[in-house]
Amino acid sequence: MIDSNPPLLNHYGALLRNSAEPQKAKSFNDKDNNTVVDACELPLIDLNGLKSCNVRERLACTASICKAASEWGFFQVINHGINPELLRNMREEQMKLFRVPFEKKVTCGLLNNPYRWGTPTATRSNQFSWSEAFHIPLTMISEEACWGEFSTLREAINEFTPAMLEVSRLLAGILAENMGHPTDAVEKLCDASTCFLRLNHYPFCPKSKEEIFGLVPHTDSDFLTILYQDQVGGLQLMKDSKWVAVKPNPEALIVNIGDLFQAWSNDEYKSVEHKVVANDKVERYSIAYFLCPSYTTMISGCKEPSTYRKFTFGEYRQQIQEDVKKIGHKIGLSKFLHKDTYTTATV
C-alpha cells in the first residue's frame, strides 16, 4: 500500500480490514440517495447591493440572502470587502503549514495541539475523512509564544479573521432582522474570542473518489460558517434529497447556516448536510471561519412557541461528542426538540 503524509491510507486500510461493509462511502442517513446531480451554481449574492442608493436594490439584496438561507442553507457572496491579496496571503501561509513533515505537525505543539488528521473515532470506513486540519480557537491568536516558528501565519490570521468576522456579522444581522430582531441579536452572542478558524487540507487520494470522503457528511454546529476554498472543487450539499456538487467561484466566499441559527430561527433557516469528496488527482485547500458563541451561551428560539428547548452551546457540543462516541456521527438538533414537537415529528 502507498503511504501518505499523514498516513491516511494506512488508517483507512485498517478500517476496511476490520469491516465487512461495502467500500463505497455513504452518508450516515443515506437512503440510497448518494447520486450526485450536475454541478450547480449556489445562489450568488452581490453584497454591493447593500450599499446601493436605491432602496429597492438594498431590499432585494437582503431578501435574496434570507431566501437562500431558508431554501438552500448555502449561498455565495461576492464584493464582500475582503482584499484578494489578504486571501492569497492566507492561502500561502496555510499551504506552508501543511507542507511541514507529518511528525512535526503532530509534535510541534502549535496553539495547544489543534492538529487533526483522518477520523480517530471512526470504526467503519464510511466514517473516515481523508483530510488533515488545524482547528484553531481564536482566543489563542494573541498568545504570541504559542506560534513558535509560524509567526507569519499568526500575522496572516490576525488580518484574516477580523475581515471574516465582519462579513459574518453583516450577514447574521440581516438574517436576525428578517426574523423581527435587532441586527445585533446574534452578534451579542458571538464575539471574536469565541469563534474558530479551521485550516483544511485534503491530500490527493489514490482510491476512487466515490469510495472515500474527504470530509464525512455533517452539518455545522455554529451560527454561520464562511468558507474560502480553492478551485479544485469537491464540496457537495444535500438539496431536495440529492447530493449537489458545488461549482467553485474564484471571486466568491461560501456561506452556510449552522445548527444554532436553525434552532434560533425555529427552522426558518436551514442547516444543511454537506460533505467533501476525495480527489484522486489533486490536493484541495479550504479555510472555514465559524461564528460561534461561548459554551455557556443559552440558545433559544427567537419567537414563541419555540421549536427547540433551551440549551447551551456547551451542552450541544457535549451531546455531539457523546453521539460520535456511541454511533460514529452526530444526531444533531433532533434531540433538542420540544417533547410535543418531537412526538409529532416522529409519529
Are the CB atoms for 50 and 58 separated by under 8 Å?
Answer: yes
Please report, for the chain, the start and end positions of each structural domain, with discontinuous segments joined by +: 36-335
Tens digits of residue pLDDT in 129-143: 999 999 998 887 777
Residue 253: closest CA among 290, 226, 291, 219:
226
What pLDDT shows up at residue 106?
A: 86
pLDDT of residue 197: 95
User: Using 50, 70 and 90 to split pLDDT, how confident is the model at 125?
Assistant: confident
pLDDT of residue 144: 73
Q: Which is more confidently placed, 293 or 3?
A: 293
Residue 335's DSSP bridge partners are none
Interior angle at CA 233, CA 129 and CA 19, nearest 5: 25
Over residues 162-191, the mean pLDDT reads: 95
pLDDT at 33: 46
Average model confidence (pLDDT) across the chain: 88
Look at residue 191 in the predicted model and tell me its pLDDT: 84
Query: How far apart are the C-alpha atoms of 192 and 187, rounded to whole Å?
Result: 10
Residue showing cell 482566543: 139
Q: How far, CA to CA in Å, does 287 sit from each of 82, 153, 186?
A: 14, 13, 22
R_g of the chain computed on alpha carbons: 20
- What integer is the mean pLDDT of 273-292? 96
**Cβ-contact 167, 77 below 8 angstroms:** yes
Alpha helices in the chain, H assignment, sequence order = 8-17, 55-71, 84-98, 102-107, 151-178, 259-264, 313-327, 339-346
State residue 211's pLDDT score: 73
DSSP class per residue in 56-119: HHHHHHHHHHHHHHHHTSEEEEES-S--HHHHHHHHHHHHHHHTS-HHHHHHS-GGGS-EEES-
Contact 320, 334 (CB under 8 A): no
Flag whether pLDDT at 118 surpasses 60: yes
Mean pLDDT confidence for 15-37 = 56
* Statement: residue 342 has pLDDT above 50: no
Neighbours of 159 (CB within 10 A): 13
Q: Are the C-beta atoms of residues 76 and 42 closer than 8 Å to each other?
A: yes
Estimate the share of the chain in helix, then strand, then coil, as percent rounded to the nearest 5.
Answer: 40, 20, 40
Fold of 36-335: Jelly Rolls (2.60.120)
CA atoms within 13 A on the CB side of 263: 26
Question: Which residues lie below 8 Å from residue 164, measured CB to CB, with a gap of 6+?
Answer: 82, 197, 226, 289
Q: Is the peptide bond before 6 cis (omega within 30 degrees of 0)?
A: yes
* pLDDT tens, position by position, 236-275: 999 988 999 999 999 999 999 999 999 999 999 999 999 9
